[in-house]
Structure 1
Amino acid sequence: MYYDDKYSDKLGKANDPVTKARQWWKARNSRDKFLIGVGAACVLLFLLWWVIEDHDKLFIASEIVHFAGIGLLGFKLISKRNCGGLSLRSQELTAMFLAIRLFCSFMMEYDIHTILDLLTLVATCFVMYGLRVPLKDTYQADQDSVQTYYVAIPCFVVALIAHPGTHHHLIFRIMWAACVYIEAVSVLPQLRMMQNAKVVEKFTAHYVFALGLSRFISCAHWILQIVDGDSFLLQAIGSGLWPVMVLLSEIVQTFILGDFCYYYLKSYAEGSGVIHLAAGIV
């Protein structure tokens, strides 16, 4: 039997498993999609527990994914010669918490995480340079409405109240706490800018999704530590305000990025690749 090319294309598309999966996903209601997402996260968490023997390596993997996300921005700036959709304020906050963490690491303790932080800081400074100098004409300052100090100053104030109770000098402990709090909310200016723009630029979306993936891996690290029987973490939560604030920071950052990642995956699952953020995401 003879089929013309147009009919063959339609038949092939109808039998395409990816197309069928997208159609099945679109037919699900919001509740089903939420439950499927939770189930997928649990399955992924189990796979990480089963495949990776040393769960401390997950924290390193989290930082590598963050560095890769910054690398995507660098690639965009070099190849596209355009920084549209990218928030300078979020990059400033990222550079701020990385610089503080590097300083505290050298003063308190340093390891492989210090090297990864240094690489990420250098990459972030490169992105900031691109936004400020060669590509400043394409920077959408009018949409980057959340000022850096609006986010940073409250974090330092909270750090004065809740900080580690270690033997290190007080100023280092306060700085370390501020670093944790700033990291938790550093993506807010970027999300607000994307919301102002209505439609999210592709490379910027990939970058924020990388941050969300990095956060998931980091949370998986802590969860699997508890599953492995690390009673120290459970005891620490009840030992004072600082551990509670660290846990709260993790939850806040995960919630902020998790909401965006939902819309990111939803757009690609539906085949559009165009991300529209809901009004209440920030």
Structure 2
Amino acid sequence: MRAEKRLIHAATMWVRRQPPKVKAFLAVVSGMAALVLLRFIVHDHDNLFVAAESVHSLGISVLIYKLTKEKTCAGLSLKSQELTAIFLAVRLYCSFVMEYDIHTILDLATLATTLWVIYMIRFKLKSSYMEDKDNFAIYYVVIPCAVLALCIHPSTSHNLMNRIFWAFCVYLEAVSVLPQLQVMQNTKIVEPFTAHYVFALGVARFLSCAHWVLQVLDSRGHLLVALGYGLWPSMVLISEIVQTFILADFCYYYIKRSIYTSFICIRRAARSPSSLWSGISEDAVV
């Protein structure tokens, strides 16, 4: 156990000492390795998109537990939840009029729980809401996404307005987590359940990005043609990659902290089993 801990610590310290370009290269290599692994493990790559939406719903469930059990919304960004509700509502509308399938049902469930979270933050738990920390101006992302959707959208046979709506929700989803990350940066302390939620978003984004990348590889690029011509197919992939990279840094530190906390708990349990739970509560804050 000590040898494994020393190895992980040495690897972590080596990564931390590397310049940003090397870290970015390592992140890209790790992502490509994960994609290769998923390509061989998951035979139907459409399941990756379903898994991504399921993980997102799981993250929302973590927030529901936090709000109902702890009776506080400290550390949560209302604006991030509102952006999430906007793109989910738009995507749900597009799903109904363009392609009614399992994704429509998952989006409906996720939208319902997101609206409940917004209700709890705005009314039931308003006293614990950190409004001064949640100071991200959402029009900085909503307006550019709307303009971009007007300029670059699918070229399929669907109604023009529906195609613009679909592009808008794709772009908005890519940046909807920015207010939450800013709240975490402003507060300097990340509440554990909020960290679990953001990590779930990171996993969901990676799975969604993997779905698109693997689908393009499997179809030898024909999927891009099916999505339409022009810049739209590339923008879909870019949006997925951007959101994945936005959350990649947080997920790295989340995993690092989780591994460190696990080792601490194991060591304390080995010395005194009764100290295990105290160790977890003591090291729970990221």
CA–CA separation in structure 1 for the residues paired with 2:216 and 2:159: 30
Structure 1: which 5+ runs fail to align? 1-14, 276-282
Q: How does 1:2-17 map to 2 (within 5 A)?
A: 15-16=1-2
Asked if the contact 1:89–1:148 (Cα under 8 Å) also holds between the matched residues in 2, the reply is yes
- Of 135, 145, 150, 1:155 maps to 145
How well do the aligned residues superpose, as a CA RMSD in angstroms? 2.3
| Structure 1 range deviating more: 189-198 or 158-167 | 158-167
| Identity across matched positions, percent | 55
Residue pair 1:22, 1:270 contacting (<8 A) in 2 also: no
Q: CA deviation at 1:23?
A: 2.9
Match of 2:100 among 110, 115, 121: 110
Partner residue, 2:206: 216
What SS does the aligned partner of 1:133 have? helix
Which amino acid in structure 1 is aligned with residue 117 of structure 2? V
- Give runs of aligned pairs for residues 140-179 of structure 1, distance below 5 A: 140-179=130-169
Counterpart CA distance in 2 for 1:273 and 1:132 is 27
Q: Post-superposition shift, 1:234?
A: 4.9
Shift of 1:116: 0.3
Identify the range of structure 1 (151-160 vs 79-88) with the bigger mean alpha-carbon deviation: 151-160
Corresponding position: 1:200 with 2:198: no
Name the CA distance, whole Å, in 1 between partners of 2:233 and 2:32.
25
Q: Summarize the Cα distance change of 1:173–1:27 in structure 2 as closer, same or farther, 3 Å threshold.
A: closer
Pairwise mapping of residues 124-139 of structure 1 onto structure 2 (< 5 A)? Answer: 124-139=114-129
The structure 2 residue matched to 1:256, chosen from 230, 241, 246, is 246
Q: Which whole-Å deviations, capped at 9, do the CAs of 1:211-249 have from their partners, x for residues lacking one? A: 110111112112222332443135569930222222221
Retained in 1: the 8 A contact 2:79–2:136?
A: yes
Q: TM-score, normalised to structure 1's length?
A: 0.84
Aligned counterparts of 2:80 and 2:244: Cα–Cα separation in 1: 16
In proportion to residue count, which structure has more helix? 2
Describe how 1:70-89 pairs up with structure 2 within 5 A. Answer: 70-89=60-79
Aligned to 1:99: 89
Structure 2 distance, partners of 1:234, 1:168, is: 17
Work out the CA distance in 2 between the residues paired with 1:146 and 1:99: 21
Give the aligned partner of residue 5 of structure 2: 19
In the alignment, structure 2 segments of 5+ residues that lack a partner are 262-282
Q: Secondary structure at the match of 1:81?
A: coil
**How has the CA–CA distance of structure 1 residues 38 and 17 changed in structure 2, closer, same or farther, with 3 Å as cutoff?**
farther
